[in-house]
Structure 1
Amino acid sequence: MTGRESDIAVIGHGPVARALVAVTGRPAAVICRPGRETAAEAAMGAPAVTEAATLPEGLDCVVEAGGHAGLRAHGAAVLDRGLDLIAVSLGALADDSLMTELAAAAERAGARLHLATGTIGALDALSAAREGGLTRVVYTGRKPPTGWAGSPAQDILDLAVLAAPATHFEGTARACALAYPKNANVAAAVALAGLGFDATEARLVADPTIGANLHEIEAEGAFGRLTFRIEGRGLPDTPRSSALTAMSLVRAVRDRRRAVTFG
């Protein structure tokens, strides 16, 4: 790890956070859970604090890579300090009270909440279509059976012996994000870019015929039709964490200084 990104702080010190700072340089600080300060400092090469109130002065923004709990615990306090927040754990925003709290804090302090795209693309097209007649959006998430271990899928399907693709969730993006908090950030991102949590359809599939996570979006409206599919790879050292999620945060951090940005 080289260099220092002296005007940002990071919430979290897991694989995505570490992948971010490996590219952008050490942050000015890292926010972690109480009792995890030593581990956080070792992982991120930066001073650790346990709340936004004790972040150093001179910061420009804070990057959230700490999961739903990290966004809930620290998001509003970061924004209340007048600091922009780049968030990637978008499934947490299925909780309307949290979304309202963050939006109010941003407006109150004149800060900006930036929703990172995470592991999915085509969100710019969905956002554009929403302005002119988007009528239907369906998100389908496919993972090998082992990818659903520890989720509600294991109570619905016998993942160990699954021989053919099986759907274990169909419903709204809101229900998906609330039921699968560790697996539904993509469904939430699609909902936020398009028709919202309650009008976006979501489907989750355990598929023993694939070896990587697949994300698909189908959308239609006055603009025409859109189909998007991406096969996501994991981080080299942590296959269960999306490489593209980390890359989306790198892009968001770097875009703050670019004279010309895309999307």
Structure 2
Amino acid sequence: MKIALIGDGAISRYVQAGIAAHPVEIVALIMRSGRTGATRCAPCVTCISDLPSDTGLVVDCAGHAGLRDHGPPALERGIDVITVSLGALADEPLYAALSKAASEGHARLRLASGAIGALDALRAARTGGLDHVRYVGRKPPAGWRGSPAEDMLDLGALTAPATHFSGSAGAAATRYPKNANVAAAVALASLGFEDTQVDLIADPSITANVHEIEAAGAFGEMRFSIAGKALPDNPRSSALAAMSTLAAILDQRTTIGF
């Protein structure tokens, strides 16, 4: 299997190391203009049209901008794409462009589960009918720096958990683009961006990012919680998100699997 990776950050480097023991060849890294030449694992290119003709998969490891810039042309060319940048799909024009490109190119955009679990249960429950889905994202106050939470809370002075956003997953993804991927994953697996509810909380009592799902429907009730660690070389990148990206690549080669 020959793949191209978008970006060379922490998640990309995790994937590069993880596939080294597998029959997967990285034929190129897709980078921003100005970052050309060869890296330790593959040549750098700046656009999909520069990829070798036998590229079979493009993996977005660079975030929303990478998916926006390179997702549609890859799909249009007939190359499947894996992304963990699910928050970008709250942008309706981008969602439509990706869908159109995938249809025209007879390709598929595959969504990695990212930093959250239980999405398989939500997808199954959706077929029988879901009445309520809520995602609660808790981070230490420092984890919300650089986000709209700073306009609502004195993050350095908190002594108790404080909610700084309550609303739809679509609104959360729009207002918190750097923190939207998990909320978007829950929404896409369940009730959609407008009907999935989201609470975002700054909590000085925790040291890890905590993701919680509450759901109810014809299947019964579900509560799921995970406290995620960051990648060692980037405190802003979820280790599980990187692992889910690697797993999605390796799943492409399995003959039996989920």
Range into which the TM-score falls when normalised by the shorter chain: over 0.9
List alignment gaps of at least 5 residues for structure 2. Answer: none
Give, in angstroms, the shift of residue 239 of structure 1: 2.2
Q: Say whether 1:66 aligns with 2:62.
A: yes
For residues 248 and 182 of structure 1, the distance between their equivalents in structure 2, rounded to whole angstroms, comes to 18
Distance 1:17 1:134 in 2: 35
Residue 168 of structure 1 aligns with which residue?
Answer: 164
Partner of 2:4: 9
SS in structure 1 opposite 2:87? helix
Q: Name the counterpart of 2:96.
A: 100
1:164 Cα deviation from its structure 2 partner: 0.6
Q: Secondary structure at the match of 1:252?
A: helix
Partner residue of 2:36? 37
Aligned counterparts of 1:223 and 1:182: Cα–Cα separation in 2: 32
Distance 1:69 1:215 in 2: 24
Q: Which residue in 1 is equivalent to 2:222?
A: 226
Moved over 4 A (4+): none
Give 1:142's aligned residue: 138
Please give the alpha-carbon distance, in whole angstroms, between the structure 2 residues aligned to 1:170 and 1:88. Answer: 23
Q: For residues 69-90 of structure 1, what are the alpha-carbon distances to aligned partners after superposition, in whole Å with 9 as ceiling and x for unaligned?
A: 1111110001011000001100
Superposed CA offset, 1:110-143 (max 9, x none): 1011011001000000001111111110000000
Whether 1:211 aligns to 2:207 is yes
Q: Distance in 2 between matches of 1:15 and 1:113?
A: 22
Distance 1:36 1:153 in 2: 33
1:8 corresponds to which letter in structure 2?
A: I
Deviation at 1:176, TM superposition (A): 0.2
Q: 1:23 aligns with which of 12, 18, 21?
A: 18
Q: Distance in 2 between matches of 1:146 and 1:22?
A: 29
Deviation at 1:149, TM superposition (A): 0.7
TM-score (norm 1): 0.94
Matching residue within 218, 233, 236 for 1:240? 236
Q: Distance in 1 between matches of 2:92 and 2:103?
A: 16
Counterpart-to-counterpart distance in 1, 2:255 and 2:94? 32
Select which of 25, 43, 46 maps to 2:42.
Answer: 46
SS where residue 253 of structure 1 aligns?
A: helix
The percentage of counterpart residues that share the same residue type is 57
Q: Per-residue deviation at 1:240?
A: 1.9
TM-score norm. by structure 2 comes to 0.96
Which amino acid letter does the alignment assign opposite residue 26 of structure 2?
A: P
State the alpha-carbon separation in 2 of the partners of residues 22 and 180 from structure 1: 30
Provide the rounded CA distance (Å) in 2 between the counterparts of 1:237 and 1:74.
25
Superposed CA RMSD: 1.0
Taking the aligned partners of 1:127 and 1:73, their CA distance within structure 2 comes to 28
**Inter-partner Cα distance in structure 1 for 2:227 and 2:218:** 28
Helix, strand or coil at the partner of 1:23: helix
2:75 match: 79
Q: Is there any run of 5+ residues in structure 1 with no aligned partner, and where?
A: 1-5
Secondary structure of residue in 2 paired with 1:197 = coil
